[in-house]
Structure 1
Amino acid sequence: MSNYWGAVVGSLGLLLGGCAGLPENTGRLESYQLADTEDTRLGRVSAAGLAADVSGFQLLDSGIDAFVARVALAREAEQSIDAQYYLLHDDMTGHLFLDELVKAAERGVRVRLLVDDMGLEGRDESVAALAALTNFEVRIFNPFGRHLGRLSQFITRFGSVTRRMHNKLFIVDGQAVVLGGRNIGNEYFEADPALAFGDLDVVGFGPIATDAARSFDAYWNHDLAYPVARLVDSPLDALAARRFRHYSSEYIEQHAHDYAYYFDALRNSWLTQQLNAGSLSLVWGQARLVSDDPDKLVTDRRQTELHLSRELEPYFLELEKSLLIFSPYFVPGREGVEFLEALVERGVRVRVLTNSLASTDVPVVHVGYARYRRELLRAGVELYEMNRQVRAPAKREGWNFTGSSKASLHAKSFVLDGEKVFIGSLNMDPRSLVENSEVGVVLEVPEIAQEMLEWFEHDIDRVAFRVSLEQGSFGSERLRWDGWSGDQPVVFDVEPYTSVWQRLGVGLLRVLPIDSQL
């Protein structure tokens, strides 16, 4: 019977797969980062560290600051902008972001925009209009077929379209780069009243930007990166471009009143002011870009030499004192639990901040964390879960969740021995480590490591629940969550701020072997 159904499914896959077939992606022109950008304004900022081969950095923990930094750099662009994102939303910050790219292209800057296809359903007309602009190229990474529903392709192309480009890079003139956890959308930049992500980016100048540009080029020229003209049926002509510009301008104008604070921030950009004054405040140090090879998405998952995790492994093996993990989706798996347990056994203090069931934006991922929670606690790993009801700024000058009805962690970072920091797009889960592609930077900058540790020590009890195991009667164990509600301490013996139905759903899913897809 199993052979029969296997044949049926296989035949269905061939039938539907043929309908969903992608055009050949041959004959496209390769392009690379532009040379000789040292004399640009951003190049002169980078020159300060060239002699010592170091890069300059500034954390971008406030959502508004992170958006303003991208806009300020785009306005400084003289030769090129390369933007690589997993998601680019059709909302206010998405339109403002594209508006800056379009304006840069109009003044002669070469713009290359590389976007994963996961969030582009129904937006081919807009994408085609962008690609019709002068000096503006758009490529779509790992696209879905345009003549068959996406749901069916998740079935017929499972293992292919389920592997996504999760990278996030914004590079200007090959001299400055913004990288970290943020996609382009309101919830990532403190512009969504319903959901505020606590996230983390870093802006870097110098060699790190050159390394990021090389990583971008590898993806841009890969076989999975399709020029828009090869893929979509919408026309790439001047009329389409004009229509998009008109639509985008109207959208921004209609919603400007609701985002007045954004326009104030853009007008008073701290980055622009510091650049104009020649007083950009940067911390300089050694840094290493770590990135998955784009071939990771088309090769056997066991080819770990293509994986970013291989580059990070030495940093974890060298740990002596402490490891602090920020990961919104934390699915350690059996191997991860054993590794963290071994770290604790040799005297390394391990602390993890992740989302609670109430704060996560992807509840199913909580299943892959909850099944290991008790074991991690028994091993001595310290666990903290985000309090979705945070109302005050989660950092004295950043990570501001004020005014949102739900706070959620989205930052992906590690602090190693209080001396090194990883900031990037990598979650601590099988999807990031094995399925998707990711990028990040390891900063050997103790000042930044200490800044993040100080934030954690000062504010963690106010923004998260400390999870612990409590001994019950007859040797039983139960979980306990200690946190704050306003100015009052609170204690929960079930997942905070969840319903019985939410908890029941997680309990039922825990019996399924789904960790590899989380």
Structure 2
Amino acid sequence: MIATLIKLLIGLLLWVGLAIVAARIVFALPRVQDRIDSTALDPADVGPLAATLRVRARGQEGKTGIAMLRDGADAFAARIMLADAATASIDAQYYIWHDDLTGYLLLDALARAAERGVRVRLLLDDNGTSRLDAELAELDAHPNAEVRLYNPFNLRRFKLASYAFDFFRLNRRMHNKSFTIDGRVTILGGRNIGDGYFGTGPAALYVDLDALAVGRVVPEVSADFDRYWAAPCVHPVGPILGQARRDGAIEDGLAHYADDPQLEEYLEILEGSEIVTRLSAGDLDLEWTEAALISDSPAKGEGAARREDLLSARLLKAVARIESRFDGISPYFVPGRAGARAFKALRKRGVSVRMLTNSLEATDVLPVHAGYTSKRGTLLRRGVKLYELRRKSASRTPADTLGRFGSSGASLHAKTFAVDGKRIFVGSFNFDPRSTMLNTEMGLLIESAAFAGNLHDAFDRELDGLAWRVEMDGLKTVWIDPESGEVTRDEPGTTFARRVVLRVIGWLPVEWLL
């Protein structure tokens, strides 16, 4: 009986293996042939942005001017208005580009820029382009625009089914986010493109953070974009999507929102925003300082990056020795064994370590929260102070740290940390195994006592009550409202069933996937 079962199992595995091999042959990606890898254009010399920024950069040689985009509406307006101000080039790189109102508005802005003669390069991770094939093909068909996909899926109609036969390639994604105009201005940080990331409308909102940068670091971002644009795992969309099937796909998509009150809201945001006007006029408040781009090698998407080329290793080296304080925000916080050891080492040296992440009631990825809870008790016992975003308190986010958000259902999405009141990192990197080992990431490490101090101060104020303070009461984890002192002994947002699911996921050997 046992021998028969073993034979059946071996036979099944062989058939599955053959099916996977056959599927990979039948649904193989087109070979990348005759691809011309363009490079970043020289910084534009014409236009109001170029003229103003040349003046503002005088006396700031070798430095980077930084403005934080804490408010989602400003972050949206900055991208649209910069695209409209472009005279030479737009290079955009994103993990997710939704087929919603902001997604269509920004695609339309790129199309209008191409129509004006601006060269547009759009690089997207194919995991986040659902239902946009026609629109991307249309943009790519314009002679002044080109669209490429990172690690594209084999199937278009049933994309996720591709994981069944090409899992290990597709499990590696490009999580980078940058938006560079005329080689003069760039925006990078935590925001993808979609309504929820810009803080208005009916969608679930994200508490997020971007940095707008001018000066020295912008050519570094452009060169990094070129590395990804030319990477072997990046494919032109033409052979993947085929020829544009119809003109007007972007216009038609936008037309669906013609009578939507949300469209009027976004138009009011654009009319009321002064961020690009102030930048062009030279009176946008920029802090001129040292800033370094830290990013992964695109070879990470093929599993071929050297350990020393990983963002985590480069960031650790750039931050150098932490002396007294480390305050971090990570929506997906799964420190793993290595992270737990690193926090333990910091605490042994007397460094204060405080982290803010999503509570169960605020998270949008339950398995990641399970990975976090499996290490939560260990971190607390080692002296790490933990805070978890309260879903119903997100509307009171400290404006000087992350901006104001109008929804009571916000989920944390910002990825940032401050060190010793001197340096702050803003980017796409989460404290989890996926960001460390699987996805490519990028961000800015900024020398700024002001920006770092804002984040430290927010933690000193216990995040103005927006988060639970998590502590150990004996062997039991408890959640404390910093404002009222009220203690909750069952994890907020849970039911018995959810607690069972969390416990079971925590037992599974899937931490490396989280």
Residue 432 of structure 2: aligned partner: 429
Residue 482 of structure 1: aligned partner: 480
Q: Determine whether 1:384 maps to 2:387.
A: yes
Calculate the aligned-residue CA RMSD, in Å: 2.0
Once the two structures are overlaid, the 10-residue window that deviates more, 500-509 or 313-322, is 313-322
Q: Give the distance between the partners of 2:329 and 2:421, measured in 1 at CA.
A: 14
Q: Give the distance between the partners of 2:116 and 2:176, measured in 1 at CA.
A: 27
- SS of equivalent residue, structure 1 residue 339: helix
Percent identity over paired residues: 37
Q: Which amino acid aligns with 2:179?
A: F
Q: Give the distance between the partners of 2:401 and 2:345, measured in 1 at CA.
A: 34
Alignment of 1:456-471 (within 5 A): 456-458=459-461, 460-471=463-474
> Post-superposition shift, 1:424?
0.5
Q: Which of 138, 159, 164 matches 2:168? A: 159
- SS of equivalent residue, structure 2 residue 267: helix
Q: Determine whether 1:96 maps to 2:105.
A: yes
Q: Give the distance between the partners of 2:222 and 2:319, measured in 1 at CA.
A: 26
> Post-superposition shift, 1:223?
1.9
Residue 500 of structure 1: aligned partner: 496
Residue 252 of structure 2: aligned partner: 247
Q: Give the distance between the partners of 2:354 and 2:235, measured in 1 at CA.
A: 41
Q: Give the distance between the partners of 2:317 and 2:50, measured in 1 at CA.
A: 32
Q: Determine whether 1:236 maps to 2:239.
A: no
Residue 407 of structure 2: aligned partner: 404
Alignment of 1:90-489 (within 5 A): 90-146=99-155, 149-233=158-242, 235-236=243-244, 240-241=246-247, 243-255=248-260, 257-300=261-304, 303-390=306-393, 392-396=395-399, 399=402, 402-458=405-461, 460-471=463-474, 477-483=475-481, 489=485
Q: Which amino acid aligns with 1:381?
A: V
Residue 3 of structure 2: aligned partner: none
Q: Give the distance between the partners of 1:38 and 1:508, measured in 2 at CA.
A: 59
> Post-superposition shift, 1:9?
2.8
Structure 1 pair 398–71 and aligned structure 2 pair: CA distance change class (3 A): farther
Structure 1 pair 345–501 and aligned structure 2 pair: CA distance change class (3 A): same
Q: Which amino acid aligns with 1:503?
A: R
Structure 1 pair 155–194 and aligned structure 2 pair: CA distance change class (3 A): same
> Post-superposition shift, 1:296?
1.1
Structure 1 pair 156–344 and aligned structure 2 pair: CA distance change class (3 A): same
Q: Give the distance between the partners of 1:494 and 1:77, measured in 2 at CA.
A: 52
Q: Determine whether 1:64 maps to 2:73.
A: yes
Q: Give the distance between the partners of 2:349 and 2:12, measured in 1 at CA.
A: 51
> What is the TM-score when the length of structure 1 is the normalising length?
0.93
Contact kept, 8 Å, 2:71 with 2:403, in 1: the verdict is yes
Q: Give the distance between the partners of 1:74 and 1:375, measured in 2 at CA.
A: 47
Contact kept, 8 Å, 1:146 with 1:232, in 2: the verdict is no
Contact kept, 8 Å, 1:181 with 1:412, in 2: the verdict is yes
Q: Give the distance between the partners of 1:145 and 1:222, measured in 2 at CA.
A: 18
Once the two structures are overlaid, the 10-residue window that deviates more, 185-194 or 501-510, is 185-194
> Post-superposition shift, 1:176?
0.6
> Post-superposition shift, 1:258?
2.6
Residue 491 of structure 1: aligned partner: 487
Deviation readout 1:352-373 (Å, 9 max, x if unpaired) = 0001111001111001110010
Alignment of 1:40-55 (within 5 A): 40-47=47-54, 48-49=56-57, 51-55=60-64
- SS of equivalent residue, structure 2 residue 40: coil
Residue 30 of structure 1: aligned partner: 37
Q: Which of 89, 92, 96 matches 1:87? A: 96
Structure 1 pair 313–3 and aligned structure 2 pair: CA distance change class (3 A): farther
> Post-superposition shift, 1:447?
1.7
Q: Give the distance between the partners of 1:149 and 1:260, measured in 2 at CA.
A: 34
> Post-superposition shift, 1:306?
2.7
- SS of equivalent residue, structure 2 residue 294: strand
- SS of equivalent residue, structure 1 residue 117: strand
Q: Which amino acid aligns with 1:483?
A: D
Deviation readout 1:218-266 (Å, 9 max, x if unpaired) = 1111122211211113x337xx23x2243034134232x2343321120
Q: Give the distance between the partners of 1:316 and 1:110, measured in 2 at CA.
A: 36
Contact kept, 8 Å, 1:85 with 1:183, in 2: the verdict is yes
> Post-superposition shift, 1:5?
4.6
Residue 75 of structure 1: aligned partner: 84
- SS of equivalent residue, structure 1 residue 343: helix
Deviation readout 1:65-117 (Å, 9 max, x if unpaired) = 11111112112211000110010001011111112111111111111111111
Q: Which amino acid aligns with 1:140?
A: L
- SS of equivalent residue, structure 1 residue 481: strand
> Post-superposition shift, 1:397?
5.8
Q: Which amino acid aligns with 2:298?
A: P
> Post-superposition shift, 1:135?
1.2
> Post-superposition shift, 1:457?
2.8
Structure 1 pair 391–327 and aligned structure 2 pair: CA distance change class (3 A): closer
Q: Determine whether 1:9 maps to 2:31.
A: no
Q: Give the distance between the partners of 1:261 and 1:459, measured in 2 at CA.
A: 33
> Post-superposition shift, 1:315?
4.0
Deviation readout 1:455-501 (Å, 9 max, x if unpaired) = 33336141100000002xxxxx10110126xx855321111122222
> Post-superposition shift, 1:11?
1.3
Q: Which amino acid aligns with 2:138?
A: A
Contact kept, 8 Å, 2:70 with 2:399, in 1: the verdict is no
> Post-superposition shift, 1:40?
4.5
Structure 1 pair 147–66 and aligned structure 2 pair: CA distance change class (3 A): closer
Q: Which amino acid aligns with 2:231?
A: H
> Post-superposition shift, 1:300?
4.3
Contact kept, 8 Å, 1:393 with 1:400, in 2: the verdict is no
- SS of equivalent residue, structure 1 residue 86: strand
Aligned residues, how many? 505
Structure 1 pair 413–32 and aligned structure 2 pair: CA distance change class (3 A): same
Contact kept, 8 Å, 1:395 with 1:459, in 2: the verdict is no
Contact kept, 8 Å, 1:284 with 1:445, in 2: the verdict is no
Q: Which amino acid aligns with 1:327?
A: S
Q: Which amino acid aligns with 1:378?
A: R
